[in-house]
Structure 1
Amino acid sequence: MPEQPARAWRVVLEHVERDLLDGRLGPGDRLASERDLSADLGVGRSSVREALRVLEVMGLIRTATGSGPQSGAIVIATPTGGMSTLLRLQVAAQGFPLHDVVRTRLLLEDAVAADLAGQPQPDLDAAHRVLEAMDADGLTSVEFLALDAQLHLALAEASGNSVVAAMMAGLRTAIESYVQQGAAAIEDWTGMADVLRAEHRAIVEAIARGDADAARELVRAHITGYYTAAGLTRSIPSAD
């Protein structure tokens, strides 16, 4: 019985995965041609093209037509883009429970605060730019909370941990969705915005002076405090 198309393109994905794991392929290397992959793996060229489209969306390859060194399907090193895209799609399709999103934030941002505070000279320029943007007059809650999410992402990216940064980027949509939902339940939004500004600055200052314990405690208090104030959850999970 001929192989079903849905399975056929997976054969190509598994073949590329094996080559990457075994070191036969790496960043900058070109995949075999569609014709060669089709013949070697015993699948149709349409299945090969489908697999290449999936790999491109995942951020593992880029494709270009024509001839020359930049043509064909080439392996690229963009784990942040690929992982973030996949996680965003999972968030959109599955609707992760708020409890799980909060716990994941606590775990990830605890690590970010510790990593950054442990660096001799953490790069906090992007974080400071976001802090300044959040001081602008007339920001709506939607605009403010979008900047809030950007600040947390900027810190994750500054930590230098590309996996953590990718996960934070992938969760950003879910985080924004939940915090926006909670803003409607806060009667004194202006007061809450002032609290959040102060908390953000305290976190960044603790990181800048290398106080990892304080930075971690401030991050946890910041995340749990907002969710509690917004009535989004009754029980915040422990990060320990």
Structure 2
Amino acid sequence: MKNYELVLHRVEADLAAGRLRIGGRLPGERVLAEQLGISRPSVREAVRVLEAMGVVRTATGSGPEAGAVIVAEPVSPLTAVLRLHLATNHLPMGDVVQTRVLLESWAAKEAAGRSPELAPVIELLDRMDAPGMSPEEFHRLDAEFHVALAGLAGNVLIAAVMESLRSAIHGYVLAAVPNLPDWEATAVGLRSEHRAIVKALAAGDADSAAGLVTAHIQAFYQAARLPS
């Protein structure tokens, strides 16, 4: 184990045990170095890693505001890590689609029972109705719609995973456009399916919402003849 990893494990253990909380401050660089038997440059390296992950925020100088403070950003660090993983690995299309079906159908079913605030989602659909929209812009909004849809379930981890999948969703969907026999007809169908999903959510019909989401994702996958 590298020396800086000792600091990461120490912070993780302190957070899990409640010894560190949001808004709390890490021990000073010298103190951590002495407690863990490592050099101060190793401590500084660990703090830089924690800051890049979004776990801490640092302030230079001296006094009560200096040092590294634990910050409350539960989604963005995980999202960044997952997006980097997706960017550096060629994931099979079938795996991405299957993951979407699992996450989004569950999220739709869960959201339908929560009387979700649908105005932001409907606003996205209204923007997708704009005439003359390019496939690229349409699918950018489409990916945003699906991420927002998953977020309605209120599960922070599901929202983080879907946010990290946004680029993969946009990429494979856009790449599939040339395989479609009639893009304009497909866009009309996608708009209709989106509206039906939102209608089921508004009605609190969990089973219908989940089924519509599943059918929507799988139908596009099949129509575009994406390789598994």
- Range of TM-score over shorter length: over 0.9
State the aligned residue count. Answer: 228
Counterparts of 1:158 and 1:67, CA distance in 2: 43
TM-superposed CA distance for 1:69, in Å, is 4.4
User: Could you list the runs of 5+ residues in structure 2 that have no partner in the other structure?
Assistant: none
1:160 aligns with 2:151: no
Counterparts of 2:62 and 2:189, CA distance in 1: 58
1:191 aligns with 2:204: no
**Amino acid in structure 2 at the alignment position of 1:165:** A
TM-superposed CA distance for 1:187, in Å, is 2.7
1:99 aligns with 2:94: yes
Alignment of 1:24-103 (within 5 A): 24-103=19-98
2:126 to 132, 150, 158: 132
Report the equivalent of 1:3: none
Counterparts of 2:182 and 2:193, CA distance in 1: 17
If the length of structure 1 is used for normalisation, what is the TM-score?
A: 0.91
TM-superposed CA distance for 1:186, in Å, is 1.2
Q: Alignment RMSD, CA only?
A: 1.4
Counterparts of 2:135 and 2:156, CA distance in 1: 29
Task: Evaluate the alpha carbon distance shift between residue 74 and residue 135 of structure 1 in structure 2; reply closer, same or farther with a 3 A threshold.
Answer: same
Counterparts of 1:159 and 1:70, CA distance in 2: 37
Indicate the percent of aligned positions where both proteins have the same amino acid: 49
1:229 aligns with 2:226: no
Any idea what SS the aligned residue of 1:95 has?
Answer: coil
User: Could you list the runs of 5+ residues in structure 1 that have no partner in the other structure?
Assistant: 1-5, 235-240
Alignment of 1:195-210 (within 5 A): 195-210=189-204
Task: Evaluate the alpha carbon distance shift between residue 9 and residue 204 of structure 1 in structure 2; reply closer, same or farther with a 3 A threshold.
Answer: same
Counterparts of 1:143 and 1:70, CA distance in 2: 44
TM-superposed CA distance for 1:169, in Å, is 0.3
Counterparts of 1:46 and 1:177, CA distance in 2: 40
Counterparts of 1:161 and 1:7, CA distance in 2: 34
TM-superposed CA distance for 1:158, in Å, is 2.4
Counterparts of 2:139 and 2:116, CA distance in 1: 24
1:141 aligns with 2:135: yes
Task: Evaluate the alpha carbon distance shift between residue 139 and residue 68 of structure 1 in structure 2; reply closer, same or farther with a 3 A threshold.
Answer: farther
Q: Which moved more, 1:67-76 or 1:205-214?
A: 67-76
Counterparts of 1:68 and 1:185, CA distance in 2: 62
Counterparts of 2:211 and 2:117, CA distance in 1: 21
2:12 to 17, 23, 26: 17
1:217 to 195, 211, 214: 211
